[in-house]
């Protein structure tokens, strides 16, 4: 019987763990203690924010900002680590071990001081780019905790947030945190958002504010920041006018009108697809127009747009004219019902011009559409002549003027003949 020879082994063998495989223990309180200790040392010596910025910059090379970014910004906003609800975590022998006065909440309540704190935050984020995500997370969280802060702390935070958002340091989408029911029903969200909007407008302007509200899809949620029993147009207008934000009222009205236009456009599409009688479409459009205070020139443009979008047009230029005229003749009464003023006629004619220019197959159809609209009482000869003499769009202007030349001559000669006939009648 043969025995297998055992292979030799090395004694004292050690398996080394690569550094990247080692997991760092989560120790936020140790991180907090290091930050607060450094800040309080500066406080004892009589600090300025430039010194604070240098300390934070240097500390980023020693402490793990990447892992503890949220706790870093807890300290810079509130002076310590925030527990759920907004209170400071108190776990030391005395306040100096878990809290610092170098923060937004303890800063002087004046705009210049608070703005300097924001600038310090911005410097830190620019130095350590990965902190951007932590900053936005912090903003989302701290806004949810508003109820746990004092009135003065909320006021400072509102101004600071306005400056932060105006300078693009965080997305205005963080304001969705203010839509929490616990904040809106007690008026906390409304007071906060009002101060924030004032700060934003002072930092930039109202156009910048409104543009960013649209980007964050908040333009239709403004009423939701009010307590449920005050979500009315009257309360909205009264509140923002009283706080010097009259443009917010105009902005809300414009949004309401835009929403109504979109809804009407959708409704018109459904009616066209469902082959609703024209008289019913006219009735619906007039009701919506009255309800939302829409102008006739706005409504006629919507009708034109929906009519032209409801058809798949022939790709051949020689066939599209016949198809277009047949289609438009069917809905001529609908268009005629909303061209009772010179302004709405002019608006429609310009939209027809721009449509024919933007859609190549319609380039040679413009004059034929205008003639159809003239014969079906959608456009008057005065509006057509005024368009020809200069009240038009620059799109394809020279080409369409040339196309309309003979028709204009015919209209003018007919007008002259009509005028001479009236004179003859007067003489008789």
CA distances from 30 to 55, 102, 130, 320 (A): 17, 18, 21, 76
Q: How far apart are CA 56 and CA 52, in angstroms?
A: 6
Among the candidates 203, 220, 244, a domain finishes at: 244
The answer to whether residue 164 is domain-embedded is: yes
End-to-end alpha carbon distance in the chain: 147
Tell me: do 179 and 328 sit in the same domain: no
The answer to whether residue 7 is domain-embedded is: no
Domain span at 96: 28-244
Tell me: do 269 and 217 sit in the same domain: no
Q: How far apart are CA 174 and CA 142, in angstroms?
A: 10
Residue 215's Cβ-side half-sphere holds a number of Cα atoms within 13 Å equal to 13
Tell me: do 127 and 195 sit in the same domain: yes
Determine phi and psi for 340, rounding to 5 degrees.
-90, -5
Among the candidates 198, 223, 244, a domain finishes at: 244
Structure tokens at 227: 């307590």
Tell me: do 106 and 235 sit in the same domain: yes
CATH code: domain of residue 45: 1.25.40
Cβ-based neighbour number of residue 89 at 10 Å: 16
DSSP label at 337? T
Q: How far apart are CA 76 and CA 69, in angstroms?
A: 11
What is the DSSP secondary-structure string of 275-316? T--HHHHHHHHHHHHHHTT--HHHHHHHHHHHHHHTS---SS
The answer to whether residue 236 is domain-embedded is: yes
Tell me: do 209 and 182 sit in the same domain: yes
Tell me: do 286 and 379 sit in the same domain: yes
What is the DSSP secondary-structure string of 57-113? HHHTTTS-HHHHHHHHHHHHHHSSPBPTTSPBP--SSSHHHH--S-STTTS-SSHHH
pTM exceeding the 0.85 threshold for the entire prediction = no
Q: How far apart are CA 325 and CA 302, in angstroms?
A: 19
The answer to whether residue 251 is domain-embedded is: no
Full pLDDT tens readout for the chain, 428 residues: 445 555 555 555 554 545 444 444 557 888 999 999 999 999 888 778 999 999 999 999 999 999 999 999 999 999 999 999 999 998 877 888 889 999 999 999 999 999 999 999 999 999 999 999 999 999 999 999 999 999 999 999 999 999 999 999 999 999 999 999 999 999 999 999 999 999 999 999 999 999 999 999 999 999 999 999 999 999 999 999 999 999 999 999 888 888 888 888 898 999 988 888 999 999 999 988 888 788 899 999 999 999 999 888 888 877 899 999 999 999 999 999 999 999 999 999 999 999 999 998 899 999 999 999 999 999 999 999 999 998 888 898 899 999 999 999 998 886 665 555 554 555 44
Tell me: do 101 and 143 sit in the same domain: yes
Q: How far apart are CA 169 and CA 212, in angstroms?
A: 13
Among the candidates 244, 279, 310, a domain finishes at: 244
> How many residues appear in the chain?
428
Tell me: do 101 and 240 sit in the same domain: yes
The answer to whether residue 9 is domain-embedded is: no
CATH code: domain of residue 322: 1.25.40.180
The answer to whether residue 12 is domain-embedded is: no
The answer to whether residue 22 is domain-embedded is: no
Number of domains in the chain: 2
């Amino acid at each position: 019987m043969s025995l297998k020879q055992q292979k030799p082994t090395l004694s004292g063998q050690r398996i080394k763990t690569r550094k990247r495989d080692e997991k760092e223990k989560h120790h936020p309180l140790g991180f907090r203690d290091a930050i607060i200790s450094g800040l309080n040392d500066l406080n004892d010596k009589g600090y300025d924010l430039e010194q604070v910025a240098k300390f934070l910059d240097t500390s980023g090379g020693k402490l793990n900002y990447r892992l503890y970014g949220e706790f870093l910004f807890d300290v810079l906003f509130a002076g310590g680590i925030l527990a759920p609800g907004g209170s400071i975590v108190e776990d030391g022998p005395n306040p100096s071990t878990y809290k610092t006065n170098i923060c937004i909440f303890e800063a002087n309540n004046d705009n210049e001081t608070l703005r300097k704190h924001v600038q310090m935050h911005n410097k830190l984020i620019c130095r350590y780019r990965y902190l951007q995500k932590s900053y936005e997370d912090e903003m989302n969280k701290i806004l949810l905790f508003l109820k746990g802060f004092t009135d003065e702390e909320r006021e400072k935070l509102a101004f600071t947030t306005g400056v932060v958002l105006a300078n693009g340091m965080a997305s205005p989408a963080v304001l969705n945190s203010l839509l929490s029911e616990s904040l809106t029903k007690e008026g906390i969200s409304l007071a906060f958002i009002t101060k924030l909007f004032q700060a934003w407008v002072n930092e930039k302007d109202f156009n910048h504010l409104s543009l960013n509200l649209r980007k964050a899809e908040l333009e239709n949620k403004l009423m939701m920041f009010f307590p449920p029993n005050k979500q009315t147009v009257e309360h909205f207008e009264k509140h923002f006018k009283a706080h010097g934000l009259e443009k917010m009222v105009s902005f809300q009205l414009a949004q309401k009108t835009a929403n109504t236009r979109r809804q009407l456009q959708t409704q018109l599409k459904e009616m066209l697809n469902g082959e609703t009688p024209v008289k019913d479409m006219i009735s619906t459009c007039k009701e919506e127009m009255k309800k939302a205070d829409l102008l006739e020139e706005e409504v006629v443009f919507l009708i034109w747009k929906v009519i032209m979008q409801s058809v798949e047009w022939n790709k051949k230029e020689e066939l599209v004219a016949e198809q277009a005229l047949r289609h438009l003749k069917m809905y001529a009464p609908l268009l005629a019902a909303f061209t009772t003023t010179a302004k709405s006629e002019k608006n429609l004619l310009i939209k027809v011009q721009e449509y024919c220019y933007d859609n190549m197959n319609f380039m040679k159809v413009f004059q034929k559409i205008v003639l159809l609209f003239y014969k079906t009482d959608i456009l008057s000869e005065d509006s057509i002549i005024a368009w020809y003499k200069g009240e038009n769009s620059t799109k394809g202007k020279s080409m369409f003027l040339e196309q309309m030349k003979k028709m204009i001559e015919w209209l003018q000669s007919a007008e002259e003949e009509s005028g001479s006939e009236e004179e003859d009648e007067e003489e008789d």
